[in-house]
């Protein structure tokens, strides 16, 4: 067992990487396994929840998601990301969205009641895509499993020995399946600022990210919506976004606003 611990320690040291923002992280689970877990989880969600049938709604979400993904690829060219992304709108009234390793994006139809413009929807999708690009799920899974994650790399632990519950939590969708471990404040802040830059790069109005979080806070009254239960909104979150708006606007000066329609967006309409 001592040699196993030694191997694990070497792998722990070798697993130190940097996120796209330059923050050091420990993410030991192989990318291929993370993508497989994302694919499997997404398939389970598709079995549980019906897709939205509204063609206009699907076109709106697909348009915004496509623009965000393309902008993420441009803005972080050195960061590995899936070649293709699958986007599904679920017929669920709750205002929620998520992205999974391997390139899967899920948007609840109810989100469109809160994200009232293309830019606001882009703020949510950009935030979720940022979680994937920064490998937050891998980092959380490594933190939860500890030495087990390292042993995966040398084949001393089979994938079947990983419990489903920590996998769901690490992928960021635990709360919506009855589990209760949200992303950390560090992950949330990093995804907020990465998502802000991504949406600006895509040509969306970065100021709408602030409006989006205010809409989210107001949507639930005394009971915050599910999205905020897993993505806690604090005054500091809005303040941080506001502090980075000028920088984000500079990124988007040369970008043409995508012709996506989700309600009324003055910038997208040329107003």
Q: Please say if 128 is a catalytic residue.
A: yes
Selecting among 128, 190, 197, 201, the annotated active-site residue is 128
Q: Decide if 127 contacts 110 (C-beta within 8 A).
A: no
Helix or strand or coil: residue 108? strand
Contacts by 181-186, CB closer than 8 A, 24 or more apart: 181/140, 182/229, 182/230, 182/231, 182/232, 183/131, 183/136, 183/140, 183/230, 183/231, 184/140, 185/232, 186/23
Helix or strand or coil: residue 230? helix
Residues 6+ apart with CB under 8 A from 123: 115, 195, 196, 199, 204, 208, 209, 212, 213
| Distance from C-alpha of 92 to C-alpha of 50, rounded to nearest angstrom | 8
Q: Which residues are catalytic?
A: 128
């Amino acid at each position: 067992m001592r040699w196993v611990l030694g191997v694990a320690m070497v792998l722990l040291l070798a697993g130190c990487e940097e996120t796209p923002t330059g923050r050091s992280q420990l993410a030991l689970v192989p990318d291929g396994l993370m993508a497989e877990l994302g694919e499997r989880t997404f398939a389970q969600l598709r079995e549980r929840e019906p897709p939205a049938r509204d063609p206009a709604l699907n076109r709106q979400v697909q348009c915004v998601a496509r623009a965000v993904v393309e902008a993420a690829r441009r803005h972080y060219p050195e960061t590995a990301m899936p070649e293709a992304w699958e986007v599904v709108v679920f017929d669920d009234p709750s205002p929620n969205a998520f992205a999974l390793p391997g390139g899967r994006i899920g948007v609840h139809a109810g989100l469109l009641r809160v994200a009232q413009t293309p830019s606001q929807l882009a703020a949510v999708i950009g935030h979720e895509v940022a979680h994937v690009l920064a490998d937050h799920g891998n980092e959380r899974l490594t933190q939860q499993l500890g030495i087990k994650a390292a042993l995966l790399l040398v084949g001393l632990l089979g994938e079947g020995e990983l419990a489903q519950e920590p996998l769901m939590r690490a992928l960021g969708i635990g709360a919506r399946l009855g589990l209760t471990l949200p992303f950390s404040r560090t992950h949330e802040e990093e995804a907020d600022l990465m998502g802000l830059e991504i949406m600006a790069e895509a040509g969306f109005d970065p100021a709408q990210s602030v409006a989006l979080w205010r809409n989210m806070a107001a949507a639930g009254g005394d009971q915050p919506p599910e999205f905020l239960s897993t993505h806690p909104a604090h005054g500091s979150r809005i303040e941080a976004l506001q502090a980075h708006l000028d920088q984000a606007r500079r990124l988007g000066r040369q970008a043409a606003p995508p012709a996506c329609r989700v309600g009324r967006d003055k910038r997208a309409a040329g107003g």
